[in-house]
Chains A and B, each alone.
Chain A
Amino acid sequence: MREIKYVEAVNEALMEEMENDTGVFIIGEEVSCAGGAFRATEGLFEKFGPERVRDAPISESGFTGLAVGAAMAGLRPVAEIMYLDFITTAMDQVINQAAKVSFMSGNRIKAPLVIRAPYGIGTREAAQHSQSLEAWFAHTPGLKVVMPSTPYDAKGLLKTSIRDDSPVIFLENRILYFKKGPVPREEYLIPLGQADIKRKGKDITVVALSNMVPKALEAAGMLSEEIEMEVIDPRTLVPLDIETIAGSLKKTGRLLVLHEAPERCGFGAEIVRQVSEQAFDYLDAPPKVLGGLNVPIPFSPVLEDACVPSAEDVADAVKKIIPR
């Protein structure tokens, strides 16, 4: 199968959905000729023109709200926030408006929009350009939250997200953007709420989010002679496929959850809660979350790299959970 970059997979999904449905349009900063800060929307302006690929001023609250309103009125906007961190300036429109309008209207009005946002740590851009904020959105009823780790997943999930009638927060990892992976030429969709087992194993279930997936797989390779790690990527946090995780625990009895966001009130805590409540009997050891440090992200590379778990840290954590 051909291999393309994650960011190219995002681009293809947008292209196909814009072809499929004339109600789909894109709005964001420099999304037209420049193709967005990371070229995810490259070529779309040339094909679909300025009405459907709309450059907005630096007015996140305004253009995100506009996207919500356009969705309420029947279009299917895809808003791009240049860096996820900047969504903070549009939070009323996301949390009080988009997330709630369907419920508050007794389901009379829907807000079928996607908010795409590159995010993540590792580019030496410091505290206001490096955050992993997925837990905020997962904590807000009314939003779906998608966090793909591979080009294949990014494409299939983005297409489904655009067709979904709920507001979807679609989080694209900046480090993964430029990694390649197999993506078929034929059209496919991936349903929201379906985890993917990225590596089979019998000794421990490692649930990893986004950029922690490749690190978990690397750790699995490092330990493969002694330990068989099962690596699960939930792919969507809301809805969450807890069955696949519980099914794996039935076999392994041990759980490690990985994310780059700070551990405190992170999404790992939610997975551990659900497992503790629903699959406690499967556990042979205390479940563990390994996440980011509880700090704003520093600029200095030596410190930035100390903020999130590496593949070695994952391997160490796995070894601690499994008795020798």
Chain B
Amino acid sequence: MKKETMPEALRIMYRIRLFEEHAKKMHKENLLAGNFMGALHTYIGEEAIAAGVSMLLNKDDYVFSTHRGHGHFIAKGGSIKKMLAELMGKEAGCSSGRGGSMHLFDTEINFMGGNGIVGAGLPLATGAAYRAKYLKTKQVSVCYFGDGAASQGTFHESLNLASLWKLPVIFVCENNCYAVNTPVSETICIKDVAQRASGYGMPGEAVDGNSLSDVYTAAEKAVARARDGAGPSLLECKTYRIDPHCMVAGDMRKKEEIDKWKERDPIKLSEKWILNEGIAGPDDLRKIREEVAEEIKEAEQFALSAPLPDRKKFREEAMDIDGSKGALK
């Protein structure tokens, strides 16, 4: 990884972290006020993955995300103003308030959506890669998914199809050790999800997902292979989710385990690396963090003042959503 790009990657990680700290606070305040705002799946502790992968992507490369998509969205260059407005159910949100936290979209950067269905993104990402190959656009398609999703049929079918037709897709498995409260050791009988790649005839690599440079180095190979028309890769990033699954479900993990992983916080690790290498000084990093904090404040103001969608108009439009009118003329 080029040293001078490190601080920019760190900026993305700060942006994800501070955004989510804010979103969590908002979600909690709402809950206390009696407004349940659905599930909020945070990416805290996993930021190095999206940051590392996205450094290699062009604006028009495709990204298919999951229920845990805030980080993927920010790293791809999505607007935090629009995402915050989305989380508040505002018309100005990136999905016009229709999608919420699990369904973020941004067509300007080919961010093709979060997903509420575990494993659903893999065939979709394969489809976007099909288009890239079809039109020889040189775009690549990235699909993020969890360790839990590796047990879905769609995982197996998609890897086979993508390999069969040499499609430019990078399957990024974010193995955060759990699917809700189920440890990965209780869902698969092998050590690494990445081992499955060989069964489908593609390269598979397991890396430290909390190390920005390790993620970057592995993703670089996978992206290059896809762009060269050599086909898909499976990249498994080993990481850990610091927060409970979605702020509303119970957490059955051991505190000692969570604390152990907190010591390997990807942001702290990256900061340390940057400082040790002398790429930037403490003041530079503090400045980046402050700039990001300012962005979050602006986003908050934007989202708070944005209007809610219009109920009446929505009901009228719903009458004709698919061309069938609601009443006889």
Contact = CB atoms under 8 A, between A and B. Distances in A.
Interface of A: 29-30, 33-34, 37, 55, 57-62, 85-86, 88-89, 123-129, 264, 293-296, 298-303, 305-307
A295 B317 CA distance: 9
Contacts, number: 132
A124 B98 contact: no
B90 interface: yes
A303 B97 contact: yes
**Which 8 A/B pairs are nearest by Cβ-Cβ distance?**
A299-B100, A300-B89, A128-B116, A57-B151, A124-B38, A300-B97, A57-B187, A293-B318
A33 B152 contact: no
Given A55-B182, A89-B119, 17 more contacts: A30-B182, A58-B119, A58-B151, A61-B152, A125-B116, A128-B103, A264-B324, A294-B318, A295-B321, A296-B98, A299-B99, A299-B100, A299-B101, A300-B90, A301-B35, A303-B311, A306-B315
Interface in B80-124: 86, 89-90, 93, 95, 97-103, 115-119
Contacts of A127: 98-99, 103, 116
A301 B89 contact: yes
7 contacts: A55-B186, A59-B152, A126-B116, A127-B99, A299-B38, A301-B89, A303-B311
Interface in B210-229: none
Interface in B23-78: 35-39
By size class, the interface of chain B is 35 or more
Contacts of B153: 59, 61-62, 89
A295 B318 contact: yes
B180 interface: yes
A89 B154 CA distance: 9
A299 B252 contact: no
Q: Which of A37, A55, A89 has the most CB of B within 10 A?
A: A89
Contacts of A33: 181, 252
Interface in B296-323: 308-309, 311, 314-315, 318-319, 321-322
B148 interface: yes
A306 B314 contact: yes
B81 to A, nearest CB: 17
A242 to B, nearest CB: 27
Contacts of B118: 58, 86
Nearest to A122: B36
A59 B151 contact: yes
Contact of A29 (B39, B89, B182, B188): B182
Contacts of A264: 324
A98 B309 CA distance: 43
Nearest to A82: B180
B117 A30 contact: no
B90 A125 contact: no
A124 B188 contact: no
Nearest to A299: B100
Interface in B133-177: 148-149, 151-154
Contacts of B39: 125
Contact of B98 (A29, A86, A299): A299
A93 to B, nearest CB: 11
Q: Which of A30, A295, A299, A307 has the most CB of B within 10 A?
A: A299
A57 B182 contact: yes
